[in-house]
Homo-oligomer: A and B are copies of this chain.
Amino acid sequence: MVELPSKSPALIVDIHTHLYPPSYVDLLSSRKTVPYIYKPPDGSDPRLIILPSDDDVSKPPASRGRPIDSSYSSLDVKRAFMTQHNIAISVISLANPWLDFLDPSSAPSIARTINDDLQSSCSNFNRSNSDQKLYAFGTLPLSAPPAAVIAEITRLKSLPNIKGIIMGTTGLGAGLDNPALDPIYSALELTSTLIFLHPHYGLPAASFGGESSLSRTGHVLPLALGFPLETTIAITRAFLAGVFDRYPSLQILLAHSGGTLPFLAGRIQSCVAHEREFTANGGEKPGPVRDIWDVLKKNIYLDAVIYGEPGLKAAVDASSHDRVMFGTDHPFFPPLKDPAGRWESVDTNLKAIEGAIWSERVTRGILGGNAVRVLGLEV
């Protein structure tokens, strides 16, 4: 019996991993209103307060918001996490809420500072490290006038390790179907800048049965459902408003495997086909021209942060095997029982990718090959 040569391990690229660079930590620490980093007067550990509901002064400091430790900002922590999970390349991004909250006048300079900081973080990391590489998604001063946003989109192309931008689901504040976003979409399309679309705002508490229902279940309802449903609504609003008709080359990477878009795409398309108010059916409202399935195969990329085979396969089926990319959501969802061990949240996603019966080529693409190709990463 001939022994086959052992296969080389797959290159793993993490395209969903958050980091707050020093300038962003400084920004949040300098603030006293949401979002901000709260340093309790009793000297206990600082807390990250990013949602209005976190900002409850009646609670003891240690139960407001969430602890913010070095895992949010340390490159050494990121490096150790990558080593532990055999991740060769990470594409870091700010965690929510990015710069959505900034005053229009200060937003452009702060965005430049943070993006330069992201670039230098990547450069420093890569210089001191031969086996691992760091890239980043930049951030945009979306509260500033469009010209300033477009200027930063253009400038980002000169930063070699910035491979796209991260954006929340509200865009300029009114959602991704806001016509005021058109010049921004146009600039992103012209510069071939990938948008990494990420949730933050969730759904109104009433959606979950109000505060009593929410309080019984910790963070599960807003995190497990609020986030992906927010993403689904945001991208569907963009689709229905004809964004992909006007910007047919726009490229959007959806967090958490698209929220629920791969699962609901058929229902969305069927409802569009049956909507009497759309001009295609004799009504007076424009409606989208392109088909959502076509958009999924040409404009949408999906991360593989879905924690199960049924969802992962639906993501691959709805977009394509060469548009789905591994991610971890680090530093969120750390292991609770063995903080030094491998992360269950990471292994659940790896198991789904490796458990699905795909060719080795497809598995390798999802683990890292697709990210290298789509983002133009140097291996």
**A→B interface (CB under 8 Å):** 174-175, 177, 203-204, 206-209, 213, 216-221, 223-225, 228-229, 232-233, 236-237, 240-241, 256-257, 260, 262-278, 281-283, 285, 287, 293, 306-311, 313-315, 317-318, 333-334, 336-337, 344-345, 348, 352
Note all chain B residues with C-beta closer than 8 A to A216. 177, 240-241, 285
Note all chain B residues with C-beta closer than 8 A to A267. 224, 228, 256, 306-308, 311
- Top 6 A-B residue pairs of the complex, sorted by shortest distance between their CB atoms: A266-B308, A266-B307, A218-B277, A310-B317, A263-B263, A224-B271
Kindly identify which residue among B223, B240, B269, B336 contacts A281, using a CB–CB cutoff of 8 Å.
Answer: B336
Q: Is the CB of A265 within 8 A of B311?
A: yes
Q: Is the CB of B174 within 8 A of A263?
A: no
Max chain B Cβ within 10 angstroms of own Cβ: one of A229, A241, A345: A229
Note all chain B residues with C-beta closer than 8 A to A352. 266
Kindly identify which residue among B175, B218, B266, B287 contacts A283, using a CB–CB cutoff of 8 Å.
Answer: B218
Question: Cα distance A309–B264 when bound, in Å?
Answer: 11
Q: Is the CB of A213 within 8 A of B266?
A: no
Question: Cα distance A288–B344 when bound, in Å?
Answer: 19
Q: Which residue of B lies closest to A282 (CB)?
A: B336
Q: Which residue of B lies closest to A227 (CB)?
A: B267
Question: Cα distance A279–B311 when bound, in Å?
Answer: 28
Q: Would you list 11 pairs from A and B whose C-beta atoms are within 8 A, ordered by A residue?
A: A207-B207, A217-B241, A218-B277, A220-B236, A220-B268, A221-B236, A224-B264, A229-B232, A263-B310, A274-B345, A281-B337
Q: Is the CB of A263 within 8 A of B265?
A: no
Q: Is the CB of B307 within 8 A of A317?
A: no
Note all chain B residues with C-beta closer than 8 A to A337. 281
Note all chain B residues with C-beta closer than 8 A to A263. 257, 260, 262-263, 306, 310-311, 314
Max chain B Cβ within 10 angstroms of own Cβ: one of A216, A256, A337: A216
Question: Cα distance A278–B224 when bound, in Å?
Answer: 15
